Structures are given as C-alpha cells and as structure tokens.
Amino acid sequence: MLVSTVLLLLALSTSDVFGNKLNVAYQWKTVEFEFPSYESKLAAISSKKFIQDNHLPLGLEVYGKRLFVTLPRWKYGTAASLAYIDMNEAPKDSPKLKPYPNWTAHALYGGVPEIISPFRIRADQCGRLWVLDTGIEGLLETEEKVGDEKWFKNTSLLVYDLTNDALLRTYEIPAEQKTEDSFFANIAVEDEDCHNSYAYLADLGGPGLVVYSWKNNKSWKVTHNFFHINPLAGDMNVAGIPFQWTDGVFGLALRPEKDGYSTLFFHPMTGFDEFSVSTRVLRDESLATNSSKYYEFKHLGSRGPKSQSGAAFVDKKTGVLFYALVNLNAVACWRTTNPKYTMESQGRIYMDNETMIFPNDVKVDNEGNLWVLSDRLPIFMYSALDKNDYNFRIMTAKVPDAIKGTACAAKFSPDPEIMNKITNKLGGGDKIKSRTSGSASAFTFNVIVLTAGLILSLTR
C-alpha cells in the first residue's frame, strides 16, 4: 500500500512539479546546417563530409543572442564540430546550425580542421570563448576513413574573441600532463579577473585536473583520490540500454568567493558523491602538485543511489549548483550555502524519460537563464536514433522559476496547488492556503518527493 501510494504521489509530483520547471527552447530530429549554398551541401554529401545521421549535439553555451553547441566527431561525416544559432531568428523546431567561427575552420573546403572534436566549451564574462578540443575523430568508428586520413591532433585549448570571432590563442596540453587513457571532456573557467583567468580541464581518463593560467600561458596537472571512480557506480541503464562506464572527474562548477578565489565543486561521472576544493590550492602550482594538499580537498556527501552525474554549473547570483543526473534522465540542484549535502537537501528540477533522455550539459547565462541539453547519447552510441522522433532538445527556464518550490529555494515552501492535489488523493480535507504555510507542510512535501524519487531510482 505504501509503495503504491508513493508511486501515485510520484506521478503527481513528476507531472506537476518536475514537468513545469523547464520548457523546450529548441529541438531537432536530425541536425541540419546552414551551408554556403545548395551546391556546397550536395558536394559535402557526395564527399561524405556531411553524413547527417552521424551528428549529435553534446555541449552548449549561451553568449548574448548566440547559442553554441558542440558536435564531437564521434563518427565520420561531421560537417562542423562547433556551431551556433542566432536566438533572435531561430525557430523552435530544427533550426539550422551555423559553423563557428566559419566553414574554413571545419575544413569544408579541404585541409585539416582548426577545431576537430570539442565536447564542452565556456564563454567567460570577458568576451572569450574557451574551446577544449579533444583532437580525436572517429571514436565510435571501427573502420578506416575512406578517401582521407583520420583527423587527429593533441588535446588543445582554443580561445576565441567573441566580439569578432578571431582566434586569440591555442594552447596544447603538454604530454607529461596526460596519460595514455586521458580524455578531456569538460572545462570550467575562473574569469573574475580577465587578465589573470584560470581554466580547469577535467581529464576523466587520467584521471586528473589540468590547471591553465591565461596570464602565464602555462599549465600543471593536479591529481587526487577524489578524481577517481566509484567502482560500484559503473553500471548504468538509460532508455532500456545497459552499459558500463569508467569516467573519472567530470562535473566542474565554480563559485566565486570573497577572498578572490573560488570554490570548485567537482565529481566523477562514475560515482555518487560531490567534492570541493578552493582554487587557492589549485592556482598555486607548487602546492597543487604536492601531496600535502590532500586534506585541502573536501568530501561533501552523497546524492544517493543511481545518481551518477555529468555536467554541472553554479549560478553566481543564487549560489545554486545545478547538475545532470544522467542515469535518471533528470536535472537536480543543491544550494551551496547549505552546510549539508544529502538527499534531503537536494531538489529535482526536471525529470522525464522522453524529453530528458541523457542530459549532457548544463549552463546558466548572464541573464539568469538555466539551459539544459539532452541528446540520447547512449542510444546514439549503442543502438540507433529514431529519425522520426525528436532526439535533441535544449530546454530553459529562469533560475528562480526552476528552483521554486524545491529545497534549493532560499525559503522552501511547497506549491499549494500541488499539495492540495496530494491531500485530496489521500482523502484529506484541509487545503493549503499560501506559500508561507508551516514548516511541517514543507517537510512533508519534501519527504514525499524524495521518497518517491528514491523508489523510482531503486525500481528502474
């Protein structure tokens, strides 16, 4: 009886609470580009430089009225691995992507691309776009590339000027800061000082963290036990597809502090726990590379079962950490000023087994909008996407709207309408009249949602 009641409450809470937090801004069944001409598109198809089914948006960023997406070259035939849409003119359904910074950078007309295969990017408040390029083409290919050599270059950091799209700098990650298993899939940028900025590059395979100084144009590698996987978290199942991953440090999110540094929140994807460290430690090369820094890293707590998490981002204004729960098709949050990191202190922003299959990137723009990209990556990797269905979605909401009624709000208070529905279903008669109702109501609502989420997790 208890399980069925909780599942009923889950159905109510997921449709009324989670389902209304984010709205679809853009969606695609397959990716289409804005080619220079129809003839150039036909030529790209003929030369297999454009194989439509081989494209998958993965990372996103928003700067001004441009929304950027990365399209890693998992397979051959990716026309452009970094592109954007103009939000002033793009339609909701299947807007055509424009290559960034131009077609030449992606070798449409021949040669080797300037940008080969980035996974995630970051636009800073100084008007720069940081592109972390893995440099590897054809990760999912089993055959040799026909008519051309497979593109490959060392992992590099490319930084563009967003005012004119000129390439400002290219920095190649030194060989001694990588291992044979290295794979750099995420980046965070500390940009409070434009002349003394730092980039933090997550190496999920090392595992390790490479710290890059813009001022000194150099980098160093940081290692720690907390960057490694939890071996009990490697088994996942998304959209009915079971798979096992061993991704180390992955999620990175920065919260500026009053001392001039930032707190870096981080987690391995193959894990359930969250950690943190001050960039005071990471910026100091001698300290960051010394074993004495071990105790500077903090274990915050666990998200709970089946809570493997990928990308993350902190909203500077509210101090809320948003993160993707890739194994639950959900996006969740935690207020970083909360001294406790527990299941009870976290909130679910959105959960849906159709529109949120594998949330792969999370960002908050300068105007306080939360953005989430979902792309059904495991289906793309291990099965095949249905070209008649919407496979890629970018969803958004204002941050205050996203966290409203969750444990991440400054003052948690459940939505009266939702609580009334729950009360009526249970046969109760008293109605909740306002959002400032007693703490008992808030506690009850939080327990209901958390319990339902836990049961969902355990019964998947």
pLDDT tens digits along 287-319 = 999 999 999 999 999 999 999 999 999 999 999
Q: What is the DSSP string of 216-281?
A: TTEEEEE--GGGS--GGG-EEEETTEEEE----EEEEEEEE-TTS-EEEEEEESSSSEEEEEEHHH
Q: Is the pLDDT of residue 2 over 90?
A: no
335-348: pLDDT as tens digits: 999 999 999 999 99
Averaged pLDDT of the chain: 88
| 94: nearest Cα among 392, 369, 395, 377 | 392
Percent of the chain whose predicted confidence (pLDDT) is above 90: 81
Supply 452's token pair.
């339902």
For residues 413 and 311, the model is more confident at: 311
Higher pLDDT: 346 or 418? It is 346
**Residue carrying the six token digits 């069925």:** 4
Residue type, 5: T
**Bond prior to 400 in cis (omega within 30° of 0):** no
Residues 6+ apart with CB under 8 A from 266: 202, 209, 226, 227, 249, 250, 251, 252, 253, 274, 275, 276, 277
Whether the per-residue pLDDT at 49 is higher than 70: the answer is yes
Number of neighbours of residue 282 by Cβ within 10 angstroms? 23
pLDDT value for 97: 98
- H or E stretch including 198? strand 198-203
pLDDT of residue 411: 67
Tell me the C-alpha distance between 122 and 132, whole Å: 9
* Pair 139, 205: CB distance under 8 Å: no
Closest CA to 74 of 360, 353, 437, 417: 360
- Band (pLDDT 50/70/90 cuts) for residue 21 is confident
Neighbours of 446 (CB within 10 A): 20
Q: What is the pLDDT at residue 412?
A: 54
User: Backbone phi, then psi, for 129, in 5-degree steps?
Assistant: -110, 115
Collect all residues with Cβ–Cβ distance below 8 Å to 92 and sequence separation of at least 6: 24, 25, 26, 27
CB atoms within 10 A of CB 91: 9
Residue 455 pLDDT exceeds 50: no
Q: Taking Cα atoms as reference points, which of 247, 367, 226 lies closest to residue 311?
A: 247
User: Which amino acid, 425?
Assistant: K
- Tokens of residue 381, six digits: 């990797």
Token pair recorded at residue 282: 């990471």
Mean pLDDT is lowest, of 171-175, 211-215, 259-263, 429-433, for 429-433
Share of the chain above pLDDT 70, in %: 85
410 pLDDT band, cuts 50/70/90, is confident
Q: Does domain 31-172 have CATH number 2.120.10.30?
A: yes
Could you tell me if residue 209 is left (phi over 0), alpha (psi between -120 and 50 degrees) or otherwise beta? beta
Asked if the model's pLDDT at residue 174 lies above 90, the reply is yes
Would you state the structure tokens that stand for residue 294, as one six-digit string? 């071990």
41-45, 230-234, 272-276, 411-415: which has the minimum mean pLDDT?
411-415
Helices 439-459 and 416-425, packing angle to 10 deg: 70
Confidence of residue 279 (pLDDT cuts 50, 70, 90): very high
Compute CA 236 distance to the chain's CA centroid, rounded to the nearest angstrom.
17
Question: What would the mean pLDDT of 4-25 be, rounded to a whole number?
Answer: 52
186-222, pLDDT tens digit by residue?
Answer: 999 999 999 999 999 999 999 999 999 999 999 999 9
Polymer length of the chain: 460
What does the alpha-carbon distance between residue 126 and residue 130 come to, in Å, rounded to a whole number? 11
The yes-or-no verdict on residue 425 having pLDDT over 50 is no
Rounded mean pLDDT, 421-425:
45
Strands (E), 257-335: 262-268, 273-278, 298-302, 309-315, 320-325, 330-335
Nearest in space to 25 (alpha carbons), one of 55, 57, 54: 57
pLDDT reported for residue 248: 98
- The domain segmentation of the chain, as residue ranges, is 31-172
- Dihedrals φ, ψ of 442, to 5°? -60, -45
